[in-house]
Structure 1
Amino acid sequence: MIQVNIHEAKTQLSKIIDQACRGEEVVIAKAGTPVVRLTPIAPRPSRRQFGALSGKARVDQRFFEPLPEDELRAWE
């Protein structure tokens, strides 16, 4: 764990951000008392890929059959 005071965090911000992104725990303290923890944001998931579920899902003939009346009313 790395603990830095606010003044040092302001002057070394790029450096401590890099450390946090590498997985190190970075704590910023005020007058020696820890006040915040710097953590990286998880990367955005990749874009959707067509065919990603290919072979994993099946649609049989029942999918194309009309729904019963009571189920149709529930969707209204």
Structure 2
Amino acid sequence: MRLYRFLTEVDDAKFCHKVTVALNKGWHLYGSPTYAYDKKEKIMRCGQAVVKDVDGEEYKPGETKLGDW
């Protein structure tokens, strides 16, 4: 199965750590990072898509917990 996640966080070290954890669990960057201004909170937010292939497993919507992989 191929898994997809979109990681988001405030534009600070937390975002980099979140992406680094995913990379160390075998996820791969998918596309370029994105940035957006959160008008309500008056802060910048980052986003990065990541994907991971898991052989021998079947994706089950609602049951597959992406963070566990």
Alignment TM-score > 0.5, same fold = no
| Structure of higher CA gyration radius | 1
TM-score, normalized by length of structure 1? Answer: 0.22
User: Per chain length, whose mean CA-contact separation is higher, i.e. which structure has more relative contact order (CA < 8 Å, sep 6+)?
Assistant: 2
Larger strand fraction of residues: 2
